[in-house]
Structure 1
């Protein structure tokens, strides 16, 4: 949840990649020179990633409104986040393989159209089963769009500006979390939860229009067969690193999904205060996203991950004793930084294990993140429905994060260079 991706035909000295840089062929050949006009189309693609970033997290702030509107429990409402994340995590690697020979621009148009329609259907859903179905479709649209937007940005910019182009796509995701989520939450709380989803659909529709009008035709990247993609899982260290990401993401999102419940019970924070807390989490995410790349270059991936997972554990535990606005804001900033600081160093060590297939191992890391979000939201919902207190939910998140730390500690460190 990070910074520039360098040319990937050779093992990179410095790899700063994002969870959105999945298996859509970012390591494919790019034009020899950067197009001077790449900024506008990449900005349009970043607007789409803004919508994706908003949609991934906005429901966490309006779960009580969804529960009240559909006459269901808060835990049941939380499964809407599970549905989106599960659809993304399970399908992203397969969609990348199945669509690898299709033209990029029409594929992006279809992905955004699917995403927009799914969010409108979510807003119109009269009951939980239809809402869950719509969230699955939205997750499919996001899984189809995000990696292809990253690949398109890299192809448009060329090697000379590839890092800047990819950082713009990441910036869309991050800004969606920092600003889109609080805005969507405020709309959902002051108007209706349906209006919050219409806001996401409207941003997606604007991006769709921009892609149709501004984006030029793009070359089709070389296809990587599905069997070759999954062959990397024969490496146990790859599996362990993805499992670490799944558990760390699960522990973080288990609590974040029910932020409204946690802060409402422990600190009596609602409404505008809740939107401010979510904004603080997103601001922390910016520092974590970009700062983790800087730390990885200086401390190494393993040490950076040790710092990040330790901070995640401490902040999840700290939420149990934050009973007023100021400490809540401080802890939410640090918690967001910790959660978003995990992906870059984990991508760094994964690409070191498979330097000839960087986009493939990054795609599995991305799937691990979304599957972790799905499992964390699902488990959190079950616990909430069984009457767990907000403090106990935070401690459950701590337990899952501790399991991630244990997996991290068991992964062998690379031998130092002689």
Structure 2
């Protein structure tokens, strides 16, 4: 079972690298395609917005497919799209390929998460899902700095790296994922015999009628908007420290990745001890300080590395708390709620591309991180307004790494 989980994780590693490595190559893309850095940053916006919109739609359209078919289709589309990105003759064509890549990622990632739970006994499902999601976390530590370094002379080499990763995952899944078990009564699945109707799109979005859910989703959106306004244009923010040197930028991205992994690991433990509300407020406050200090920290390498550790560490701790909070609202429907949380996350990333571009244009390369400091303050206010002291619910085992064991969570 373990090799097949690792293959699923290789696919999410490719997706994570593709979605996050753009921060390290925007300058080269801009120069090659003769556009400004803010315009190049819209690649991230287009990918994230497409993912957020297409994920629930594709989940509905493919609900009756065998999971193996959905996995192979998603990874094939993702891989081909990145090959087209590498060959893009102009900016418009590149943006179109990012939509196609997002469609493949939006089909693959949720399906891989569900497939992981079928490859292990029920008592190990949380660990299985953590393994698959771990591919995306490891991408921040290894894939992003590797992609940044590979693309130091030509950004298209970075895209070919993603193609290789996708092709390896696709080949492995095609060869080794035969006979994938199906969930009991899965409609239309190979080997399934149940007749349960797949949820329609409207049913998947119905929880948004609950004010608690919309408050939690809104908080996720605002926090990820805040974080990615700076992350997408991080190379610009720390350029005084790196001097445009690819090796120095790779070091900054590597520190960012390691801090992200550490934050993801610490986040669950912090929520266990302190509750989601406390973690969100304290982590959000740390983000305000980090963003406010970046115009000065970004002038030197020690300062840039300090930011590269502090902001991602706080950001990923907050991300885990956001997922815990959402799942706690209705543990019986936690997988569905977490899918809405994921869509809110990607909408935040999408909005950050435009917001960061505008901020960069208005405030300039040094001062645009102050926009994130103000947004983080707004996110803190939303947390204070939509959560309450005390109380909570136990989160049961769900198909998400942030809710894989019982936790006491403050809503």
TM superposition score normalised by structure 2: 0.89
Shift in Å, 1:253? 0.6
Instruction: Name the CA distance, whole Å, in 2 between partners of 1:42 and 1:215.
Output: 10
CA RMSD of aligned residues (A): 1.6
Shift in Å, 1:224? 2.9
Contact 2:118 2:181 in 1 (8 A): yes
Contact 1:263 1:270 in 2 (8 A): no
Shift in Å, 1:227? 2.7
Unaligned segments of structure 1, at least 5 residues:
1-37
Contact 1:242 1:365 in 2 (8 A): yes
Shift in Å, 1:337? 1.2
Shift in Å, 1:228? 2.4
Say yes or no: does 1:232 pair with 2:203: no
SS at match of 2:21: helix
Say yes or no: does 1:194 pair with 2:188: no
Contact 2:9 2:132 in 1 (8 A): yes
SS at match of 1:126: coil
Say yes or no: does 1:53 pair with 2:16: yes
Structure 1 runs, 4 residues or longer, greater than 2 Å off: 220-228, 265-270, 414-418
Query: Which residue pairs with 2:268 in the alignment?
Result: 293
Contact 1:255 1:262 in 2 (8 A): yes
Shift in Å, 1:416? 2.9
Contact 2:14 2:162 in 1 (8 A): yes
Match of 1:180 among 134, 143, 167: 143
Shift in Å, 1:415? 5.1
TM superposition score normalised by structure 1: 0.87
Match of 1:338 among 305, 309, 314: 314
Say yes or no: does 1:281 pair with 2:256: yes
C-alpha deviations, 1:137-158, integer Å up to 9, x for none? 1111111111110110111112
Query: Which residue pairs with 2:345 in the alignment?
Result: 369
Instruction: Name the CA distance, whole Å, in 1 between partners of 2:335 and 2:262.
Output: 24
Shift in Å, 1:226? 2.5
Contact 2:277 2:387 in 1 (8 A): no
Shift in Å, 1:219? 1.1
Count of aligned pairs between the two proteins: 379
Instruction: Name the CA distance, whole Å, in 1 between partners of 2:75 and 2:160.
Output: 14
Match of 2:231 among 246, 250, 256: 256
Say yes or no: does 1:66 pair with 2:42: no
Ranked by relative contact order (alpha carbons within 8 Å, sequence separation 6 or more), the top structure is 1
Which of 112-121 and 266-275 deviates more?
Answer: 266-275
Instruction: Name the CA distance, whole Å, in 2 between partners of 1:411 and 1:59.
Output: 33
Shift in Å, 1:344? 2.1
Query: Which residue pairs with 2:335 in the alignment?
Result: 359
Alignment of 1:106-145 (within 5 A): 106-145=69-108
